[in-house]
């Protein structure tokens, strides 16, 4: 097979896994193609965190099967790990199934298909080599770097511990080498990735996540530093101190709380209470007042009463997150919550979600409008989705900012933008200066 195409669903971990897959296929001389026709191999890098996502993937397999000529399909990611052999039975177009812990074996799987074999590589090998040298990175401005794989929190609604395996932290020296390689070629923003990133502990030196973040922020050329996803119960004062002391650590924090009710948090196995979460938020805001907070919320978890739901709304009103990723609960295979007998009806979930979005949209709009008239430092990513006459980038707090192209700037420049308009999901402004971000070494 000489040509391929990768379609990616789900979180940043999957986006980064696709960069790893692409790098390995390119290293064998295979060429990417951008449209349906022409790719001999189509990799579906899948997400199984919600039922809807799995349905979409199954219907995509059906569409690909009907193409002529029919490509070979490689199912990768969390659905691959979850469904395994069943996928091969589902469609003869599927040549291999490759779980997220087996990405390094994609070329082995491709060669097997070329020999007429269909393979399944699932499960986790803690000794698996992580070859960052072959990663194919799509962005020249931002570099994603995995610091740990897997999760051992076992929230009762979540498939991740079953699809991505146990927590495995990478050695700190290996991470630093990868980041130095990225800044050496001009990457300006580093995004550290891990499902519960603040549980990171270096297996060789016992370096904690707060220490790792501090070391990375001190590296020459790291203009901006982001990290996802933090678990509230692992968020200690050492990490808050790093956020308050390091100007290049992003003014954006994603901190999922999932529910505002203690009885639901307990059933979710989140291991913190609403009071502990609110105390943590106020400690963080006290030390880093300009932080843009975002969160994840599940609505309609089994047994959620009106009172439980109101407590979730109360946290949203109290904390005032800049962005909220909220979803109706959907039962997932292998998870304890699937078997709970007090499931909530779909119409109740829908109505609660609607009420929640009314509140979160209002708050996001108010927070964004408060920025009109201020000047924000923006890293330019690309032209805006709507028109090539505008740039799109992100502020230090991760807010999306659009502004007109003047012809004197390029992708990866950092410019000062005065905000003139604000919507619910983005800001609009005009360039008033350049390169006056944090006082860090210029590349």
- In the complex with ligand SF4, the residue whose CB is nearer, 40 or 153, is 153
For position 148 contacting ligand SF4 by CB under 6 A, the verdict is no
- In the complex with ligand SF4, the residue whose CB is nearer, 13 or 145, is 13
Binding segment for ligand SF4 among 8-16, 126-134, 149-157, 358-366 (CB under 6 A)? 149-157
Distance between CA atoms of residues 5 and 411, nearest Å: 25
Distance between CA atoms of residues 298 and 311, nearest Å: 13
Q: Pick from 21, 113, 155, 242: which binds ligand SF4 (CB under 6 A)?
A: 155
- In the complex with ligand SF4, the residue whose CB is nearer, 43 or 297, is 297
> Left, alpha or beta for 432 (phi > 0: left; psi -120 to 50: alpha)?
alpha
- In the complex with ligand SF4, the residue whose CB is nearer, 104 or 161, is 161
Binders in 229-268 for ligand SF4, by CB under 6 A: 231
For position 324 contacting ligand SF4 by CB under 6 A, the verdict is no
Q: Within a 10 A sphere around the Cβ of 327, how many other Cβ atoms?
A: 16
Distance between CA atoms of residues 229 and 195, nearest Å: 5
- In the complex with ligand SF4, the residue whose CB is nearer, 335 or 364, is 335
For position 196 contacting ligand SF4 by CB under 6 A, the verdict is yes
**Residue owning tokens 């099967």:** 65
Least separation in angstroms between CB 317 and ligand SF4: 23
Distance between CA atoms of residues 161 and 296, nearest Å: 18
Q: Within a 10 A sphere around the Cβ of 342, how many other Cβ atoms?
A: 10
Binding segment for ligand SF4 among 153-161, 281-289, 315-323, 415-423 (CB under 6 A)? 153-161
How far is the CA of 402 from the CAs of 141, 308, 389, 411, 414, in angstroms? 16, 38, 10, 13, 13
Q: Within a 10 A sphere around the Cβ of 438, how many other Cβ atoms?
A: 14
Binders in 203-232 for ligand SF4, by CB under 6 A: 231
How far is the CA of 209 from the CAs of 150, 183, 441, in angstroms? 15, 20, 24
Q: Is-contact 167 148, C-beta < 8 A? A: yes
- In the complex with ligand SF4, the residue whose CB is nearer, 208 or 402, is 208
- In the complex with ligand SF4, the residue whose CB is nearer, 97 or 197, is 197
Least separation in angstroms between CB 328 and ligand SF4: 16
Least separation in angstroms between CB 235 and ligand SF4: 12
Least separation in angstroms between CB 81 and ligand SF4: 14
> Left, alpha or beta for 348 (phi > 0: left; psi -120 to 50: alpha)?
alpha
The DSSP call for residue 153 is -
Least separation in angstroms between CB 256 and ligand SF4: 7
Distance between CA atoms of residues 57 and 9, nearest Å: 9
For position 402 contacting ligand SF4 by CB under 6 A, the verdict is no
Binding segment for ligand SF4 among 157-165, 236-244, 328-336, 434-442 (CB under 6 A)? 157-165
Name beta bridge partners: 424.
none
Distance between CA atoms of residues 77 and 228, nearest Å: 19
Q: Pick from 19, 40, 153, 189: which binds ligand SF4 (CB under 6 A)?
A: 153
For position 87 contacting ligand SF4 by CB under 6 A, the verdict is no
Q: Which residues bind ligand SF4 (CB under 6 A)?
A: 151, 153-155, 158, 160-161, 195-196, 231
């Amino acid at each position: 097979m000489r040509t391929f195409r990768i379609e990616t669903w789900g979180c940043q971990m999957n986006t980064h896994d696709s960069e790893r897959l692409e790098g390995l296929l390119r290293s064998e001389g295979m060429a990417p193609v951008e449209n349906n026709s022409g790719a001999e191999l189509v990799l579906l890098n899948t997400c199984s965190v919600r039922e809807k996502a799995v349905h979409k993937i199954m219907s995509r397999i059906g569409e690909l099967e009907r193409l002529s000529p029919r490509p070979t399909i490689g199912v990768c990611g969390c659905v691959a790990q979850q469904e395994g052999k069943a996928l091969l039975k589902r469609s003869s177009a599927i040549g291999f199934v490759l779980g997220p812990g087996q990405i390094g074996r994609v070329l082995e799987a491709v060669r097997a298909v070329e020999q007429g074999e269909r393979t399944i590589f699932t499960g986790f090998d803690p000794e698996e080599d992580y070859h960052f040298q072959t990663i194919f990175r799509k962005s020249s401005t931002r570099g994603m770097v995995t610091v740990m794989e897997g999760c051992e929190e076992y929230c009762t609604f979540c498939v991740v511990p079953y699809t991505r395996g146990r927590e495995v932290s990478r050695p700190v020296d290996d991470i630093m080498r990868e980041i130095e390689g990225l800044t050496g070629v001009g990457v300006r923003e580093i995004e550290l990735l891990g499902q519960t990133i603040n549980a990171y502990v270096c297996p060789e030196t016992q370096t904690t996540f707060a220490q790792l973040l501090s070391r990375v922020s001190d590296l020459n050329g790291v203009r901006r530093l982001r990290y996802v996803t933090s678990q509230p119960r692992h968020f200690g004062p050492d990490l808050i101190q790093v956020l308050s002391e390091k100007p290049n650590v992003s003014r954006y924090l994603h901190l999922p709380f999932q529910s505002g009710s203690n009885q639901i948090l307990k059933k979710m196995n989140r291991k913190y209470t609403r009071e502990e979460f609110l105390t943590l938020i106020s400690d963080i805001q006290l030390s880093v007042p300009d932080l843009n907070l975002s969160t994840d919320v599940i609505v309609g978890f089994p047994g959620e009463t009106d009172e439980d739901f109101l407590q979730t709304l109360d946290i949203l009103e109290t904390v005032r997150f800049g962005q909220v990723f909220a979803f109706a609960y959907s039962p997932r295979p292998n998870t304890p919550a699937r078997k709970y007998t007090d499931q909530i009806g779909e119409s109740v979930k829908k109505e609660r979600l609607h009420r929640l979005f009314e509140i979160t949209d209002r708050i996001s709009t108010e927070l964004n409008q408060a920025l009109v008239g201020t000047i924000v430092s923006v890293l330019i990513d690309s032209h805006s989705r709507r028109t090539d006459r505008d740039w799109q980038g992100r502020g230090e707090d991760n807010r999306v900012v659009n502004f007109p192209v003047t012809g004197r700037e390029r992708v990866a420049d950092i410019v000062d933008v005065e905000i003139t308009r604000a919507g619910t999901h983005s800001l609009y402004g005009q360039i008033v200066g350049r390169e006056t971000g944090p006082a860090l070494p210029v590349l």
